[in-house]
Amino acid sequence: MKTSAFLYPWDVVGDPDAAARVADLGVQQVTLAAAYHSTRALTPRHPGHRIVTAEHAAVLYPPDAARWAGRELHPREQAWVASDDAFAEAAEALAGAGLEVHTWVVLAHNSRLGAEHPDTSVVNAYGDRYPWAPCIAGAAVREYLIGLAAEAAVRPGARGTELESCGWYGFAHLHAHDKIAGVGLGDAAQYLMSLCFCPACRTGYAGQGLDADGLAAAVRGALEPVWAGAGSPETGRAGIEKLLGADLTEATLRWRGTVARTLQESAVAAVRAAAEPGFQVLLHADPEPHRTGANVGVDPEHILSVADGVVLPCTGGDAAREAVLGPFAGRGGVLAANFGVVTGMGGSPATLERDAAHAASLGADQLRLYHAGLASAPDLRAVTEALSRLGR
């Protein structure tokens, strides 16, 4: 199985041994960040630093000034890697070690955008804005994301791309000093908290025969027992229908599904138009259409008619892998199983061989390893040993 490790440019730039170290893991490819959200990242083996603080969402290459001229929404450049083109410098080193390089592009996840342009953010049923979550129904946001996908995906030397957050973002978010766990929310309640009521979405609901104010009131009413108690364990579409009712659930999913599908179609088309023939386009995805976040909810049949394949979250037990891989199996296209290999972040490199074999039995034909730059030395040794056994 072809295997790719995720990496940031700052894991490579300034470390002459980084590329060879990654190649020695036994991977054939690196998925290298070209556009990424804000983060604080450990660099345990870098000779020059131990922590990189990416203060805001940014591109890790010089953006094309002509492309963005006159646009109110445009990508910000990074300032935390000492390089004029951090992506290109890292990609060149990785290719020199015999690794195929694909871009890693994060789209609808951008706190800087929400801070500078509050009107671009998702607005929940209570009127609270989510500055980390651009509303993908807005015309300006869609234009920005499609332009960013085309530019960030097709970097010199890249053979393909993986688009993350190419759809709805919502309530769930790893935020600095998070304090939202006092009331437990299953993914059904999180869906209600992720419904957007910005002007574009209000218009969209009207097109589905819904009164936006009435819908917002219904959402608040459905969540009131959740706040009054210990939370809501409901999951899946059945859980959403239990909270909101079948008719409102269907109408909101129909609106949001149309918005997400058309964005994905446009983003992939823009990438293909900018790329050479044979350039691979994958989407980080989840087979439950109501899901939001990095792995956006999609309809499996539709997305595999648009992109070349999907990258699916597979860390967890057998049942979790079966739930995400099963709906895509046998439909064609790349099916990449994404495993966390950082023990301290919930990954399990010690069981990678067994878990990867299970994923392959469910139809996965590629592996993704998150994340070669963040993992400890023992974690990387476990990965190397597992990939060596899998390759026999």
Structure confidence by residue, pLDDT tens digits, 120-149: 999 999 999 999 999 999 999 999 999 999
Q: State the Cα–Cα distance between residues 370 and 185, nearest whole angstrom.
A: 26
Q: For 195-200, what is the mean pLDDT? A: 98
Within 8 A by CB and 6+ apart from 197, the residues are: 123, 124, 125, 127, 212, 215, 216
Q: For 92-119, what is the mean pLDDT? A: 98
Q: Is residue 236 part of a domain?
A: no
Q: For 198-208, what is the mean pLDDT? A: 98
pLDDT confidence band for 32 (50 / 70 / 90): very high
Side-chain-facing half-sphere of 312: CA atoms under 13 Å: 35
- Distance from chain centroid for Cα 144: 17
Q: Is residue 209 part of a domain?
A: no
Q: Is residue 383 part of a domain?
A: yes
pLDDT at 392: 67
End-to-end CA separation in angstroms for the chain: 11
Side-chain-facing half-sphere of 376: CA atoms under 13 Å: 12
What is the three-class DSSP state of 104?
Answer: strand
Backbone Cα Rg of the chain: 21
- Write out pLDDT tens, residues 361-391: 999 999 999 999 999 999 999 999 999 999 8
Q: For 183-208, what is the mean pLDDT? A: 96
Q: State the burial class of residue 392 (Cβ atoms within 10 Å of its Cβ: 0-12, 13-18, 19+).
A: exposed
Q: Is residue 9 part of a domain?
A: yes
| pLDDT at residue 40 is higher than 80 | yes
- Write out pLDDT tens, residues 275-305: 999 999 999 999 999 999 999 999 999 999 9
Q: State the Cα–Cα distance between residues 98 and 335, nearest whole angstrom.
A: 23
Task: Find out whether the peptide bond into 371 is cis, omega within 30 degrees of 0.
Answer: yes
Q: Is residue 357 part of a domain?
A: yes
Task: Find out whether the peptide bond into 109 is cis, omega within 30 degrees of 0.
Answer: no
pLDDT at 67: 96
Q: For 73-97, what is the mean pLDDT? A: 98
Q: Is residue 363 part of a domain?
A: yes
Q: How many domains is the chain built from? A: 1
Residue given tokens 């929400």 in the structure block:
114
Lowest model confidence (mean pLDDT) among 53-62, 225-234, 243-252: 225-234
Mean pLDDT over the full length of the chain: 97
Q: For 92-116, what is the mean pLDDT? A: 98
Can you give the pTM of this predicted structure?
0.97
CATH of the domain at 361: 3.20.20.80
Range of the domain at 26: 2-180+257-390
Q: Is residue 291 part of a domain?
A: yes
Q: For 90-100, what is the mean pLDDT? A: 98
Q: State the Cα–Cα distance between residues 346 and 203, nearest whole angstrom.
A: 41
Q: State the burial class of residue 7 (Cβ atoms within 10 Å of its Cβ: 0-12, 13-18, 19+).
A: buried
pLDDT at 180: 73
| pLDDT at residue 174 is higher than 80 | no
- Residue 324: closest CA among 334, 345, 338: 338
pLDDT confidence band for 178 (50 / 70 / 90): confident
pLDDT confidence band for 179 (50 / 70 / 90): confident
Q: For 318-327, what is the mean pLDDT? A: 97
- Distance from chain centroid for Cα 200: 23
- The amino acid present at 262, given as its one-letter code, is T
Percent of the chain with pLDDT over 90: 95
